[in-house]
Amino acid sequence: MSEEKHFKYVVLGGGVAGGYAAREFAKQGLNPGELAIISKEAVAPYERPALSKGYLFPQGAARLPGFHVCVGSGGERLLPEWYSEKGIELILNTEIVKADLTSKTLTSATGTAFTYDILIIATGSSVIKLSDFGVQGADFNYILYLREIDDADKLVAAIEAKKGGKAVVVGGGYIGLELSAALRINNFDVTMVYPEPWCMPRLFTADIAAFYEGYYANKGVKIVKGTVAVGFDSDKKGDVTAVKLKDGRVLDADIVVVGVGARPLTTLFKGQVAEEKGGIKTDGFFETNIPGVYAVGDVATFPMKLYSELRRVEHVDHARKSAEQAVKAIKASEKGESVEEYDYLPFFYSRAFDLSWQFYGDNVGDTVIFGENDPASPKPKFGSYWVKDGKVFGAFLEGGSPDENKVIAKVARVQPPVADVEELRKEGLQFACKI
């Protein structure tokens, strides 16, 4: 007979959302043995953004236990001991292969059944691999991805093994930009390849992207746009030696890092729970259409109050906040109380080289760029507003101080009217400071 364990609350997923949910449960009051966090990773929840940034630095690199949650938002670091002190069962190295929401049972790969009263689905995303598209040679050695700490360790080992070699980064989004910078800092000869006309196309306008592409070029990063990797060559050991591009070019490579996106991990729940826009549909408390089943972070498609529409958001900030919201809602409903509906302001940020940008709100409408955006400038500082229906919907700032970043967040939240777009360009950051 296979083993069965029962918990009042189960959080499935030991990523950022899982860690922040655990902290919120502890804050709201928890009896020992009531909560289990089930994770397929081997370590306690940690702040994932560190993997594409500090983890890869040649000097003073970030390492665990330094970036366990909840340090990323200025909170206390939750070491593995913290969970046991709070009576929270941290079940690591455990892959759940079957979920039955009717019988409230999760079954692991080794046959252990976990039953629960309340479930929080915090499974996050899995990285999209080139082998998923049948790209020839995509399984050669030193073709790497970055999602979890194991991936980061492989990347660190590759940087060491192929010291100062040639790296090709496939993808021009977050991962592509942050890893190109990290590899360059590690003295690799770096080429970035992406199919779009400019980098970070989901957020950046052509003007914003032109600054980053220019800055990267000045740092020695080569950029190849408008094409994709269609195959790879290797040596006798199976180590990658070249990347074949669709446009016929061949790039020498000692390391290839692929960042072409991620997919929300919802497979376990297909057909058992309502889905929308690629995620699990929830209300403003992150409860699904199945009572007692919640979904948070990357997998949740939730009502975004600010824009009166359902959205799915893949970002660490939302992973943290949605987890806290779900736990507050669970605890309130037990007392017959209620909490406010989730009212999220979209937030994205990135750090690479000496650059650091933040974006708040919605990138819709026309854009107005302001400030010093010459890539060769010793201290570039510029921003952009998105204006739609005579109101500011989004705001972006490169090189802002913490206070300046707060004012652009406020602008995106308040959505002030704009009488004259040319005036807005002239005022630049001052416009936000007046709100």
Q: What is the CATH number of the domain that holds 359?
A: 3.30.390.30
* Domain identity same for 16 and 164: no
Q: Is residue 74 part of a domain?
A: yes
Question: Measured between alpha carbons, how far is 380 from 355 in angstroms, rounded to an integer?
Answer: 9
Q: Is residue 295 part of a domain?
A: yes
Could you give the percent of the chain with pLDDT greater than 70?
Answer: 100
Banded model confidence at residue 231, pLDDT cuts 50, 70, 90: very high
Q: Is residue 344 part of a domain?
A: no
| CA trace torsion 304, 310, 312, 313 (10° rounding) | -20
Question: Measured between alpha carbons, how far is 132 from 356 in angstroms, rounded to an integer?
Answer: 33
Burial class (CB in 10 A: 0-12, 13-18, 19+), 128: middle
Tell me the per-residue pLDDT of 19-55, one tens digit each, with 9 for 90 and over: 999 999 999 999 999 999 999 999 999 999 999 999 9
* Domain identity same for 291 and 255: no
Instruction: Work out the average pLDDT over 118-129.
Output: 98
Q: What share of the chain is helix, strand, coil (3-state, %, to 5)?
A: 30, 30, 40
Number of domains in the chain: 3
Tell me the per-residue pLDDT of 383-412, one tens digit each, with 9 for 90 and over: 999 999 999 999 999 999 999 999 999 999
Q: Is residue 340 part of a domain?
A: no
pLDDT higher than threshold 80 for residue 431: yes
* Domain identity same for 359 and 422: yes
* Domain identity same for 195 and 291: no
pLDDT higher than threshold 80 for residue 239: yes
Q: Is residue 105 part of a domain?
A: yes
Residue 409, helix vs strand vs coil:
helix
Q: Is residue 346 part of a domain?
A: no
Name the residue range of residue 24's domain.
4-126+263-334
Banded model confidence at residue 435, pLDDT cuts 50, 70, 90: confident
pLDDT of residue 394: 98
Q: Is residue 224 part of a domain?
A: yes
* Domain identity same for 239 and 157: yes
The pTM of the full predicted model, rounded to 2 decimals, is 0.97
